[in-house]
């Protein structure tokens, strides 16, 4: 038996040290180091060589002799999940899913597992009993004879059951509740999370079985556990949304098998998560009368065009320092656009409170909504509603110019599909599309002051 090994970990960020430190060099927090046992001397041997009947030989091989295999994917019935993963679940991949408590992570993946009727799925739960999961499954109104449950937290017992069942898909809820006998520390600690994730990673790669790890997040919004957890997995998904809204967004933070720009939108219903196929309709408020301070932006999230509503409110400041409040948008970007309006347009925002909101609880970083933000601010500033059935797509530069944006044809087509009559774009986008292909009127402008004169 080898010697027992210990190390010190920062409980805040997961930084590892061979000795105790008062201040963490990584996150600069004080008194966060705790001692944990890394190795009790047990042999870490995984006997997955005969899992699918053929022994897997590990040997050195030249890159030119490696045979290229087609990527095998499991297509789920959930079109949004398929889009976010890049076309389906890649066999042998390990996927980490994180989100706020109660946001619907367990419901989403229980629902998807139940709908895969032709695949043997094992759902490992360390947080809920079989009765609780059965109650949720009854609420989802989906049945599956190939769906199996295991409520266990010790990885050695879990892998014994996996050897007996030989599932084709594994869902672990959650990785923070698992515990390995090879590590002498409590579940959820840095070393336990790392060791349990490493065991499932070895299992996934050697048996070619996809594994979903559902994870917790900290109060700062980061994924709980060491940063190495995100490096070990193939894909990191973030499930987010405001619990006061019915809509949830599944984002990709890391994906070795597809784009990280995709997102999926769901609606939380009494019967589970419903994929939203046309999110533009739900993100635009249906109102009977035109009000000032509202503009529609034609944005892109990955390969999907979205029309989102930007709402602005500009009022006289009561206090000494004007307020700048945003929801779903970058505050620094708003301050930049206000500076452009003051310098290049002569509008006095310095003594006014400015509030900006992206309707529907959506968070966006697409620079192409700059023009819609500018127009919403000017509309509220002048207290004049913008013309009906008009939308915007353009980035605003520091000199007040309207810059070209990518995928302009898809944005115009989405606006036309939803019944808009005009779209204002950058004059420098003229080469990117042909007016004759669209029935919608495309207005090309070069500067912010031209937009102001055109609208007001």
The CA R_g of the chain, rounded to the nearest whole Å, is: 26
Residue 124 annotated as part of some ligand binding site: no
- Structure tokens belonging to residue 266: 């769901």
Answer yes or no: are the C-beta atoms of 99 and 265 closer than 8 Å. Answer: no
Sort strands 73-74 and 89-90 into parallel, antiparallel or unpaired: antiparallel
Residue 167 annotated as part of some ligand binding site: no
Residue 101 annotated as part of some ligand binding site: yes
Buried b (16+ CB within 10 A) or exposed e, 195-212: bbbbbbbebbbbbbbbbb
Residue 254 exposed, middle or buried by CB count within 10 Å (0-12, 13-18, 19+): middle
Phi/psi at 180 (5° precision):
-105, 140
C-alpha closest to that of 390 among 356, 424, 358, 363: 424
At CA 109, angle to CA 128 and CA 123, rounded to 5?
Answer: 50
Residue 103 annotated as part of some ligand binding site: yes
Phi/psi at 315 (5° precision):
-130, 160
Residue 49 annotated as part of some ligand binding site: no
Answer yes or no: are the C-beta atoms of 276 and 282 closer than 8 Å. Answer: yes
Answer yes or no: are the C-beta atoms of 8 and 33 closer than 8 Å. Answer: yes
Residue 93 annotated as part of some ligand binding site: no
The DSSP H or E segment spanning 327 is strand 324-327
Q: What would you measure as the largest C-alpha separation in the chain, in angstroms?
A: 81
Answer yes or no: are the C-beta atoms of 235 and 96 closer than 8 Å. Answer: yes
Answer yes or no: are the C-beta atoms of 95 and 233 closer than 8 Å. Answer: yes
Answer yes or no: are the C-beta atoms of 194 and 202 closer than 8 Å. Answer: no
Residue 369 annotated as part of some ligand binding site: no
Residue 105 annotated as part of some ligand binding site: yes
- Summarize the annotated binding site for ATP as residue ranges: 99-106
- Summarize the annotated binding site as residue ranges: 99-106
């Amino acid at each position: 038996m080898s010697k027992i090994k210990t190390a010190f970990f920062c409980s805040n960020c997961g930084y590892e040290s061979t000795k105790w430190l008062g201040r963490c060099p990584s996150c600069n927090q004080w008194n966060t180091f705790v001692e944990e046992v890394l190795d009790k001397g047990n042999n870490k041997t995984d006997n997955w060589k005969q899992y699918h009947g053929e022994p897997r030989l590990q040997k050195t091989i030249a890159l030119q002799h490696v045979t290229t295999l087609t990527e095998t994917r499991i297509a789920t019935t959930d079109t949004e999940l398929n889009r976010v993963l890049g076309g389906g679940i890649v066999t042998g991949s390990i996927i980490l899913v994180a989100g706020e408590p109660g946001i619907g992570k367990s419901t989403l993946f229980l629902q998807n597992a139940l709908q895969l009727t032709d695949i043997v799925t094992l759902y490992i739960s360390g947080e809920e009993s079989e009765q609780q999961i059965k109650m949720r499954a009854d609420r989802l109104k989906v049945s599956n004879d190939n769906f199996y449950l295991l409520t266990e937290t010790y990885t050695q017992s879990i892998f014994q059951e996996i050897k007996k069942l030989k599932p084709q898909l594994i869902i672990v809820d959650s990785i923070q509740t698992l515990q390995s006998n090879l590590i002498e520390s409590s579940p959820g600690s840095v070393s336990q999370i790392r060791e349990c994730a490493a065991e499932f990673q070895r299992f996934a790669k050697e048996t070619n079985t996809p594994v979903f790890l559902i994870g917790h997040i900290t109060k700062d919004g980061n994924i709980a556990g060491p940063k190495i957890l995100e490096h070990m997995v193939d894909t990191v998904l973030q499930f987010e949304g405001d619990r006061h809204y019915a809509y949830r967004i599944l984002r990709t933070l890391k994906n070795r098998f597809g784009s990280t720009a995709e997102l999926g939108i769901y609606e939380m219903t009494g019967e589970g998560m419903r994929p939203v196929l046309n999110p533009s309709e739900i993100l635009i408020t249906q109102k009977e009368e035109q009000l000032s301070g509202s503009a529609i932006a034609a944005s892109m999230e990955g390969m999907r065009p979205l029309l989102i509503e930007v709402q602005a409110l500009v009022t006289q400041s009561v206090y000494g320092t004007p307020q700048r409040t945003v929801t779903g948008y970058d505050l620094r970007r708003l301050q930049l656009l206000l500076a452009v309006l003051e310098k290049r347009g002569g509008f006095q925002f310095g003594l006014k409170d400015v509030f900006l909101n992206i309707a529907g609880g959506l968070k966006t970083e697409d620079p192409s909504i700059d023009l819609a933000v500018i127009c919403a601010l000017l509309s509220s500033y002048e207290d004049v509603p913008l013309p009906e059935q008009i939308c915007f797509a353009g980035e605003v530069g520091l000199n007040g110019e309207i810059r070209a944006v990518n995928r302009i044809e898809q944005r115009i087509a989405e606006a036309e599909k939803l019944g808009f009559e005009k779209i204002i774009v950058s004059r420098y986008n003229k080469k990117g599309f042909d007016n004759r292909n669209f029935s919608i009127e495309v207005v090309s402008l070069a500067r912010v002051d031209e937009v102001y004169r055109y609208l007001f």
